[in-house]
Amino acid sequence: MCIIVLNYLMSQFLEKSNQSLDSAKYLVKQQYYSSTVNRSYYACFQFLMHILFEKLKKDQAEFYNEVLQRPNGTHTWASKLIGNELARQNIEDYKWFQRVLPEFREKRVKADYYPAVISPDEGELSITRAESIINMLKVNFK
Amino acid sequence: MTSVEFLKSELQIIAHKFPNVHIKYGYNNIIETHVIELLPLIEYTNNVELDRAWVPLSLQFMETFNEDVTFISSDSSLSVSNVIFEFNASCTDEKIFTEIYAALTNEPICYTFPVSMQGGHLIQNSNIDYLNTPVENLGDEVDYTTSYLAAAA
């Protein structure tokens, strides 16, 4: 029973990521494109956290303590730790990851905080991009 | 040494090693990330030695300064609109194109044109009036054998 509860807790980021991606797919059908970008981006970020804690076995308390000591916050620190590991495993995927995640982050910030209109294509593309990043991480961190 | 000074110093070394690569540096305030653009795209995509130069630098930079950096090329949605510094700036696409094709422009290009074409014949020293003349009436003016010499501009 304890193991089941522990597994349930440990997979929370995976579940959050799946729900965010499902939400993005629902939102794009409703033509809520800015929100689609937001949920797609967070599906990626939550999957990064899942990899970090589930696959790389990073201690959660240690992680959040490290974040507090740095200026750039959770997203930057998580992507940096994943990037380090990726560079060791697959240089081509690291090259792609270190470029595509900041691109996605900029799109998300613009969608949330800027008056820029997000097009249907950008909404669809954000889902595709999230799925690409998640799939790449699944391949590299089995 | 600040993070920008560090990048400037390290990128200068890379620029010296790869004189055909144009390196632009800027800072993206929206995502608070140092952005380094490597041009042309083909070098960024295919030059393995270039990868070996910048990938360790990107990792070392984030480890040392706890700041974000990304290396991009011309296909990225993140562009360096406000260039803070750059190296090998004269190494533009036009320059590369010119270097590749310059040799061709110094040599005449010999080409034998076909002497016949669908619906008529090629006529030497022709003017527009000949186009209305039936070919059987042209006699010796039709040249079936001439090779033409064209020089590249």
Model confidence pLDDT, tens digit, residues B28-87:
999 999 999 999 999 999 999 999 999 999 999 998 988 899 999 999 999 888 999 999
Nearest residue of A to residue B50, measured between CA atoms:
A95
What radius of gyration do chain A's Cα atoms show?
16
Q: Are residues B55 and B81 in the same domain?
A: yes
Q: Which residues numbered 94-123 in A keep a CB inside 8 Å of some CB on B?
A: 94-95, 98-99, 102-103, 105-107, 109-110
Residue A59 domain boundaries:
2-140
Residue B96 domain boundaries:
3-105
Question: Residue B23: helix, strand or coil by DSSP?
Answer: strand
- Report whether pLDDT(B152) > 50: no
Between CA A59 and CA A80 the distance in angstroms is: 16
- Report whether pLDDT(B131) > 60: no
Contacts of A68 in chain B (CB under 8 A): none
Spatial contact of A35 and A123, defined as CB atoms under 8 Å apart:
no
Count of domains forming chain A: 1
Q: What is the mean pLDDT of residues A131-137?
A: 97
Count of domains forming chain B: 2
- Report whether pLDDT(A7) > 60: no
Chosen for mutation from A95, A114, A129 (greatest number of chain B CBs closer than 10 Å) is A95
Per the CB < 8 Å rule, is B62 touching A107? no
Q: Are residues B35 and B97 in the same domain?
A: yes
Q: Are residues B116 and B89 in the same domain?
A: no
Nearest to A80 among B28, B51, B62 (CB): B62
Is B49 an 8 Å CB contact of chain A? no
Residue A23 CB contacts under 8 Å (≥ 6 apart), including other chains: A39
Q: Are residues B50 and B66 in the same domain?
A: yes
Between CA A32 and CA A63 the distance in angstroms is: 34
Nearest to B76 among A70, A71, A103 (CB): A103
- For chain A, what percent of residues have pLDDT higher than 90? 82
The ipTM is 0.88
- pTM above threshold 0.80: no
Chosen for mutation from B30, B36, B45, B69 (greatest number of chain A CBs closer than 10 Å) is B30
